[in-house]
Structure 1
């Protein structure tokens, strides 16, 4: 059944699409922080009914009333990758719910055994709203701009669930989506660029490694008429050399999106090239190896809290193995969000 035929879910998604997408531009900092406080309280209440988290919080002597907002999040125990890996499925969803009511998604396992989480339609569409915000910053319309997207469509990946399983297919009765072309990152690059030639995308999004391969083919004379206006990179580190190589090959600006299966999208580059944290969707704590806070400008590990979702919660999660530097420097764009 199409989840958008549920009138309550549809109403929630429409409301959040209309009002939440533009929050980073339209809100004052005070309004933004009030929203974040409410979101943290809401997600902690949800976590309390998920057995894995409930046991941790009970052992720490905590109740939902102990968390009044962002300032109290440090009271909560940290959750690790092994906590999620070793938990049986029913410990990762709300008590009383069955796993059949959720979709399983797994991380790539690039740093070890994959982590499997449970998601559901509201969480998926809320995540997509975060990506709509990213492309809107760059003047891209998800309904009108011709887009070629290269994703990991292998079985069980989050992108496979989103693009071929539930989220995107459920939109097709309402929108044609003929402006959207998708490929699996494992597809033959020459076939990809040949099909792009016929489609003539204005935007290409994908992993930096595949984007670089397409750029090499472009320089060799393939895809002569593949001339996107925008290119988006995500899913791996985009180094300076690769960025410039792709930009020179396609004569198009590249913007980068930072995220993870457990909590995405976390941050993205604005038009000025600064990474803005989507801090109404994600709360980040910057810590050292002992999980003590670090000062701005110092490389830090992350504790990540996803501020939405009704499946497996992600609260003070230490499983993202990236080093990130926070900054107090502002950006001249109109977004009120912090930078990394």
Structure 2
């Protein structure tokens, strides 16, 4: 099937309007109107997901039948699931996982694209995207970029690499398919070195950037070393996923260095862009594409303004479905209001960190347990380790880094040789480089404890 004929484009635009149509349709809906739309799409997704063994088993184990879910208010009755469940699903039905409605041997006759999450041990977690899922992620991101200032004819430099990760593709689709901007897909520094990135920006006239905040900081340092004046670029705005920036120091430093406003956004690999920051400083939820609840650890919705774990349901995805997916990010949600920017929606707080111990290092999701295999493989260790997460540097130069402290089996073991071996093995398992510090037996016990709930993360982010 030709991709161009796999989508009813008029229907797609009507269902999930891109900008500027969004501003005059979904973006102006009342709270009752958007709730009715979410209710219809939610029930449709639940009905479809019931046919998928992953969901049917999960819900039946909770004592539910399809008829028990009759409206959006019944959503909290459905159990949450996490990335841990998705990993088990991938083992149950490789390679894609039992949460997909089909496997490798019975792929349906439609164009599909695969993306993966980062930072897991072994094979990354795979997620398939049908044409609607791909284009809606592009539309979500187009809304983000348009609200932040992108217009037809702009040049958007995208320093997320167009790889198995999907952030770069979201920016590309937004610019090329839905905004009329020219995407300059330079990718990260290992694809186009940082000096050349700036040369391209100067030559082409890049006036908007879609980039990781750490890399925006890296470009600042390169510009300083090369006496390149960033203020000479016609930069209208920087769009990024700022993450945990409690004092706003990173934002202020980048805005000053680039002489342009920086906008924060929030999303996930699976459901796309959940919320985007407007010029009035609010994170608007793409409510026609995703339903967001902020819940306690048991999955019970919290009151508006209370911080808890983000539980999302994709209202557009069918390959695969994501119904009550616990992203485990710490957020708060606020009531539906009309913003000074003209959009009416519920809004999110900036992300306050992770509920669990997963940490995001240089754009990669890293789980402490992912270090275990490499450490246990080496007989020179006793298997004890601790991941120390902290910010290094200040302002633009700040980056989130992780050091893995590992106990050697005894003091006769060469610490330097062991460190070098483990750094190489962890790079292979994690997909990124981390530093290793070798310590003597018993050193980590005061930090890790013992018993069922051994701690593997020492989080120093708030002590910097």
The reply to whether TM is greater than 0.5 is yes
Displacement of 1:18 in angstroms is: 4.3
Please name the residue that 1:206 is paired with: 211
Q: Does 1:242 align with 2:258?
A: no
Partner residue, 2:234? 227
Structure 2 Cα separation of the partners of residues 337 and 176 of structure 1: 22
Q: 2:313 aligns with which of 293, 305, 315?
A: 305
Match of 2:153 among 140, 144, 159: 144
Shift of 1:57: 2.4
* Partners of 2:149 and 2:237 within 8 A in 1: no
Return the alpha-carbon distance in structure 2 between the equivalents of residues 134 and 51 of structure 1. 35
Say if 1:51 and 1:95, in contact at 8 Å, map to a contact too: no
Flag the 1:43–1:176 CA change in 2: closer, same or farther, 3 A. closer
Alpha-carbon distance in structure 2 between the residues aligned to 1:182 and 1:29: 38
1:9 aligns with 2:1: no
1:93-242 correspondence to structure 2 within 5 Å? 93-94=100-101, 98-99=106-107, 102-109=112-119, 114-141=124-151, 143-154=152-163, 156-159=164-167, 179-187=182-190, 188-220=193-225, 221-222=227-228, 224=230, 225-234=232-241, 236-238=243-245, 240-242=248-250
**Which stretch of structure 1 is more off in the superposition, 14-23 or 210-219?**
14-23
Residue 50 of structure 1, aligned match among 42, 49, 52: 52
Output one character per residue of 1:213-249: Cα deviation in whole Å (capped at 9) or x when no partner.
Answer: 1233344532553231111112744561111111111
Unaligned runs of 5+ in 2: 349-464
Structure 1: any 5+ residue segments left out of the alignment? none
Give me the whole-angstrom Cα distance separating, in 1, the residues matched to 2:69 and 2:121. Answer: 32
**1:148–1:180: 8 Å Cα contact kept in structure 2?**
yes
Query: Which secondary structure does the structure 2 equivalent of 1:130 belong to?
Result: helix
| Cα 1:301/1:307, change in 2 over 3 Å | same
2:22 equivalent to 1:25: no
Q: SS of the counterpart of 2:347?
A: coil
Aligned length, in residue pairs: 331
Contact 2:311 2:328 in 1 (8 A): no
More strand by share: 2
Provide the rounded CA distance (Å) in 1 between the counterparts of 2:294 and 2:175.
37
1:266 alignment partner, SS class: strand
In the TM superposition, what whole-angstrom CA distance separates every residue of 1:62-107 from its partner, at most 9, and x where no partner exists?
A: 3444323321111212112122111123622225983475322211
How far does residue 208 in structure 1 lie from its aligned partner after superposition? 0.7
> Do residues 59 (structure 1) and 64 (structure 2) align?
no
Indicate if the aligned counterparts of 1:217 and 1:223 stay in contact, CA closer than 8 A: no
| Aligned match of 1:258 | 266
TM-score normalised to structure 2 length? 0.64
C-alpha separation in 2, matches of 1:151 and 1:237 = 19
TM-score (normalised: structure 1)? 0.85
* Whole-Å separation in 2 of the counterparts to 1:181 and 1:99: 33
Change (3 A) 1:28 1:183: same
Which stretch of the first structure deviates more once superposed, 16-25 or 229-238?
Answer: 16-25
| CA pair 276-170 structure 1, distance change in 2 beyond 3 A | closer
Match of 2:285 in 1: 277
Aligned mates of 1:227, 1:213 — CA distance in 2: 19
SS of 1:305's equivalent in the other structure is strand
Q: Sort the Cα spacing of 1:120 and 1:203 in 2 relative to 1 into closer, same or farther, 3 A.
A: same
* Deviation, structure 1 residue 114: 4.2
User: 1:92 touches 1:117 (CA, 8 Å); kept in 2?
Assistant: no
Deviation at 1:56, TM superposition (A): 1.7
